[in-house]
């Protein structure tokens, strides 16, 4: 097992946001997380990355056979965790190219990937400053792929991205995830990204709990037709097997 989340609870700003969450992701597996706004999806990803204010109050997170809940973000990144933010930060004074060089020493790779993601001109701009919504998402994907994590935590990668660019991003992401041992946990509302990757398992977060498990496209269709409430009927199968 690459990631094993066992019965974790997370309080944020004094409020219980995640309640007894368990999930597992195997090496080379892609899992999808659905769920209504405010249900706790981003909180889960932030807790897995070790953001301050999102610490785990009970339960454990095992990544590559090691308990990581006490580790810093930097240590988790070094172990192979990577995050693509729902709302990327703007960084004044730091060029995209500078962070790219920090993440990857291979100049050719930086050039090729920035070309594929139509980011050549953006390399020489401050990170995300006045980037359009879609450009920010492409820049996020660019950075996380240069970092080469083993487990990608992608928070709504296609949100605000036009259909042609979703196709570009989806193909680049799929190529990366085809490499041996690469895994991902992907949050999506629209499901568009599912057309480009081979996701095996999906689950639904509601009120800080995981309620369902199944094939991502089937869950998506069920949500589309019958809403999230239907997912509660699967609450006895809370684990991603």
User: Taking phi first (over 0 means left), then psi (-120 to 50 degrees means alpha), and beta for anything else, what does residue 196 get?
Assistant: alpha
User: Least distance (Å) from Mg ion to the CB of residue 43?
Assistant: 8
Beta strands in the chain (DSSP E): 3-12, 15-25, 30-34, 56-63, 66-67, 81-84, 91-95, 126-127, 151-155, 183-187, 201-206, 209-214
**Cβ closer to ligand ATP: 41 or 122?**
41
* Spatial CB neighbours of 82, under 8 Å, sequence gap ≥ 6: 144, 147, 148, 149, 151, 152, 153
Q: Which stretch binds ligand ATP (CB under 6 A): 19-27, 39-47, 105-113, 145-153?
A: 39-47
Asked if 21 interacts with ligand ATP (CB under 6 A), we say: no
Are 64 and 80 in contact by the 8 Å Cβ rule? The answer is yes
Contacts of 226 (CB under 8 A, 6+ apart): none
153 close to 8: Cβ distance less than 8 angstroms: no
Kindly state the smallest distance separating residue 10's Cβ from ligand ATP, in Å: 9
Identify the residue among 5, 8, 29, 40 touching ligand ATP (CB under 6 A): 40
Can residue 188 be called a binding residue for ligand ATP (CB under 6 A)?
Answer: no
Q: Token match 């693509």: residue?
A: 84
Cβ nearer to ligand ATP, comparing 23 with 168: 23
Interacting residues with ligand ATP between 52 and 91 (CB under 6 A): 53, 86
Q: Is 42 in the site for Mg ion (CB under 5 A)?
A: yes
Token pair of 182, please?
């690469």
Strands 66-67 and 56-63: antiparallel
Nearer to ligand ATP, 84 or 100 (CB): 84
Give the range of 5-13, 36-44, 218-226, 229-237 binding Mg ion by CB under 5 A: 36-44
CB of 59 to ligand ATP, least distance (A): 17
Classify burial at 92, counting beta carbons within 10 Å of its beta carbon; exposed 0-12, middle 13-18, buried 19 or more: exposed
Identify the residue whose tokens are 């193909």: 171
Residue 143, contacted partner among Mg ion, ligand ATP, none, CB below 5-8 A by kind:
none
Q: Which of the choices ligand ATP, Mg ion, none does residue 53 contact, using the CB cut-off of 5 to 8 A by kind?
A: ligand ATP
Residue 64 CB, nearest distance to Mg ion (Å)? 26
**Closest to 237 (Cα-Cα) out of 215, 211, 208, 218:** 211
Q: Applying CB under 6 A, does 43 fall inside the site for ligand ATP?
A: yes
Answer yes or no whether residue 11 interacts with ligand ATP by CB under 6 A.
no
Stretch that binds ligand ATP, among 38-46, 176-184, 190-198, 209-217 (CB under 6 A): 38-46
**By the criterion CB under 6 A, which residues form the site for ligand ATP?**
12-13, 17, 35, 37-43, 53, 86
């Amino acid at each position: 097992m690459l990631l094993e989340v066992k019965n974790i609870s997370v309080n944020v700003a004094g409020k219980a946001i995640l309640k007894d969450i368990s999930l597992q992701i195997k090496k080379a597996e892609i899992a999808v997380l659905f769920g209504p706004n405010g249900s706790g999806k981003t909180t889960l990803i932030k807790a897995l990355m070790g953001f301050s204010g999102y610490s785990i109050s009970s339960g454990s997170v095992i990544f590559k056979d090691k308990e990581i809940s006490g580790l810093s973000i930097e240590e988790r990144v070094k172990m192979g965790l990577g995050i693509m933010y729902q709302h990327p930060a703007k960084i004044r004074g730091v060029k995209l190219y500078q962070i790219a060089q920090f993440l990857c020493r291979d100049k050719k790779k930086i050039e090729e990937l920035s070309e594929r993601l139509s980011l050549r001109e953006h390399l020489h701009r401050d990170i995300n400053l006045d980037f359009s919504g879609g450009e920010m998402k492409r820049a996020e994907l660019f950075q996380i792929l240069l970092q080469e994590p083993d487990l990608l935590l992608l928070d709504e990668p296609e949100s605000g991205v036009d259909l042609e660019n979703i196709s570009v991003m989806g193909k680049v992401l799929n190529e990366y995830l085809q490499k041996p041992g690469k895994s991902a946990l992907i949050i999506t509302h629209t499901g568009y990204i599912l057309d480009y990757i081979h996701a095996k398992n999906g689950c639904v977060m509601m009120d800080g709990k995981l309620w369902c498990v199944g094939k991502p496209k089937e869950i998506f269709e069920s949500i589309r037709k019958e809403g999230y409430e239907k997912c509660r009927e699967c609450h006895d199968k809370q684990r991603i097997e």
